[in-house]
Structure formats: C-alpha cells, structure tokens
Amino acid sequence: MKIFSALSGLLFLSSIIACAQGENQVKEGDVPITVSTKYTHEVVVPDITNPWGMDFLPDGSILITEKSGKLIHFKDGNQTEISGAPEVSNRGQGGLLDIMLHPDYEKNGWIYMTYSSPEGEEKGANTALMRAKLNGTSLTNQEVLYKASPNTTKGQHFGSRIVFDKENHVYFSAGERGERDINPQDITRDNGKIYRLNDDGSIPADNPFVNEANAKKAIWSYGHRNPQGLTINPQTGEIWEQEHGPQGGDEINIIKKGANFGWPVITYGINYSGTKITDETSRPGMEQPVYYWLPSIAPSGMTFVTSDKYPELKGNLLNGSLKFLYLEADYLEGKKVVKREKLLDGVGRVRNVKQAPDGYVYLGIEGVGIVKLMTK
C-alpha cells in the first residue's frame, strides 16, 4: 500500500511538473497577445453541454451538433431534437462533430456531418462523413460518404471539421487517432489527414494520390495531428486549418494539394511528460505553419471575418481557445500574423466559431451554448 501511495504521489507530481513546463513554454520573437475590452456576447441558444458544430438554415434558424449525439434545430426560441442523426461513439473526444450545409442547399437540401462512427468489424470507432436531408424534424436520405478505418478503442484525435471550396468539393479532417507513429505519415492509411471528395462522395480525378498504389485516394494532405478548424480564406480561396499540437506547437496552416505537414517528424511541441518528440522543427518537403502557439491554446473552430458588423476584425482570422477560455483575433498581413488579441477573455471553452449569413459571429461555448459576438 505504501509503495502504491508513493507511486501515485510521483505520478501526480510528474503531471504537475509537466503542466508547469507546458505553461512556461516560450516562443522567441512571438507576436504578443493583448486583451480587448471592445466586445461582449449575448447568449442565443442556452443550455447545450458541448455544441461541437453549427450551421445556419436559409430562414435564419440554426442546426447544432451536440457531442453526445443530438442534432438540435433552434428556431423561434425553441430547441427541437432532430431524429435520424447517425449512431456515434460518444467516448473520449468522439461524438457528433461538425455540420455544414451544401453551398447549394436551397437547391439540393444536402446537410453534411462528421462523427465518430462505430461502424466496422473492429471494436471502437473512427471518423466518418455523411450527408442527409432535413424533412420536418427528421433526417432522411442518409448516405455515409466516407468512413476512416480501422476502428480503434482509443478516445482521442477524431478531428473534425468540414468545408467546401468554390467547385463544391467537400473537405473534412480526421485526427491521427492517437497513433502518431503509424498513421499521419502513411498515405496508405487513414487518419492524420485532410480529405477531399466530390459532393456525392466520389473521388475527384485530380486528387493528389489517385494514381499511387494502395494510397487512400481521398487524401488531400497529410502529416496532421488533430485538426479542429477549417475555413476558406475569402480573398484567396485557400483552405486555412488549425490543429492541436502536443504540449505546445498548435498550428495554423494553409492546406495544399498533396502536402505533408510533418507530424510527428517535425513539431514545435513536446511530449506531455516534458520530453522531446523530435529535435527537428523543419525538414525539406514538409510544410511550415503560418503560425504556431507556445504554449498550446487548444484551438477549436476558426473563421475569417468578412462582415461589416466588426470593422476592426474584417479580413482577419478568429480562433477559439479551449484551454484559455477566450476567442483569439489574429490580424494578418498577407499570410503573416502581425497582431493578436483576446476577445471575450474568460468566456469559456470555445469549441466552434462561425460567421452567419446575418453578418454576426457565433461561438459554441461548452456548458453555455451558442453565443453571439457583440461590440460594446
């Protein structure tokens, strides 16, 4: 019993030391972050435990994914649970994840969702992409477009976000499922990837690895850890992504066809124990981030601001922070972050960030619900 107590004490002490090391990570020449007091928020949809994703229907109502597996329709002040949502493995970081309407939703009615799917021969789950149509209070015409494999019982790193390009290709992310030394650098395996599909789930003929033997043909980029932010730069059409690093080394990247983003061969982070993962932060043939965070902020959800509702933010990038409980504004000159601000400091764990058709930015806050960003 004394030995057990001693070991428990050592493990606890080690965890405290590791956390302290993480908090004390310093990035040389970093862009300092300041706190803005110009913004406040208004709760729009209350009492949602983990609002993972959201999108806005043409009538202004909101579809919200709750990690537990519920799909919620918020309209005229009322929350209605939509039946027909996919079966999810609500374990660890898994659950019902992102949601996005097809760009031509008003013509075709398709809604896309990512989730941790238990479908498959193996125990556990892996990331899947499906589409469906909304008929009253039910989903219909459900189609699974992609299911990563194999399943694993590990509970971490599912991703996942969805975005469409101007040609209506659908992109989605899947984390490396806790298999950093197996999945991210191997294009014959799923996970640690950004995928690109035609909107019906077929493989585009110009995907980078369609002619590679045994490659997963849907892969667009690889070498990712756990991407939980995807958005389109409205000025360039480029896909911007953010992903969780280990302890330190969260990244903002610009996604490129066939590109290798390096994880875990190169990283600016370290193990949670405080030990090194690698001595390399760069290598030929591997992409560098636009920006990386030390210490980690645990980023989730990102969007470019295009609205005149926020003149100072227009043209710049917003990223949610789960760890430090704020919304970060990253001001850009071209592809370089030149200024950083904390907005809504202390608001809670920001899981999702999205600009709506009404021009306002909405946040999914764990334990709160959906809030609207407002100027004071």
Residues 28-50: b if buried by 16+ CB within 10 A, e if exposed: eeeeebeebeebebeebbeebeb
Element spanning 219, H or E: strand 219-222
- Alpha helix stretches (DSSP H) within the chain: 2-23, 105-108
Q: Is 338 exposed, middle or buried (CB count within 10 Å of its CB: 0-12, 13-18, 19+)?
A: exposed
d(CA 92, CA 96): 12
d(CA 58, CA 357): 9
Query: What phi and psi values does residue 289 have, to the nearest 5 degrees?
Result: -70, 155
Query: What phi and psi values does residue 72 have, to the nearest 5 degrees?
Result: -110, 135
Structure tokens at 364: 């999914």
Question: 3-class SS at 365?
Answer: strand
- What residues act catalytically? 157
Q: Please give the single-letter amino acid code of residue 352.
A: N
Dihedral sign, CA of 44, 48, 54, 59? negative
Structure tokens at 307: 């609205």
Residue of 91, 96, 98 whose CA lies nearest to 124: 91
The number of CA neighbours under 13 Å toward the Cβ of 156 is: 9
